[in-house]
Amino acid sequence: MVERVVATDEALALIEHIKGIHGPIMFYQSGGCCDGSVPMCYAEGDFQIGSADIYLGSIGDVPFYMHRSQYDYWKHTQLIINAIEGRGATFSLDNVEDKHFILNSRVFTDKEYEEVKKASIK
């Protein structure tokens, strides 16, 4: 099955580090407000998911969400979460670390996109 969201080894290592400090966490893909369009990492319960937010999948056993209107722009792509040097977004848990999460993407092949379209969005 094609995943809508995946993570690099660097991102998975940072996820484990942050989980070791904060316990259960979650991701929400920012829509461009405040800190730009970056994956935001929150302690579980610190960010409320709304009825218009959708679950795209999990990375490192951590749920990843995005607003439905934002998904309309990204639905043709696989989101690739990476971690690079530098401080993260102000409201994200990676803001005090030496690495922060960034979003890369790639366009699905026609076959992959057909598979993704058939999968239900939660």
pLDDT for residue 35: 56
Contact in structure between 42 and 62 (CB atoms under 8 Å): no
1: pLDDT strictly greater than 90: no
Q: For the whole model, what pTM was predicted?
A: 0.91
- Alpha-carbon Rg for the chain, nearest whole angstrom, is 14
Q: What percentage of residues in the chain have a pLDDT greater than 90?
A: 72
pLDDT for residue 34: 58
Q: Can you tell me whether residue 45 is helix, strand or coil?
A: coil
More confident residue, 10 or 95: 10
- When pLDDT is averaged across residues 12-27 and rounded to a whole number, the result is 96
Domains present along the chain, CATH in parentheses: 5-117 (2.60.300.12)
pLDDT for residue 122: 58
Task: Report the mean per-residue pLDDT for the chain.
Answer: 90
Which amino acid appears at position 7 of this protein?
A: A
* Structure-token match 């302690």, residue found: 43
pLDDT for residue 33: 62
pLDDT digits (tens, 9 = 90+) for 20-79: 999 999 999 977 665 567 899 999 999 999 999 999 999 999 999 999 988 998 999 999
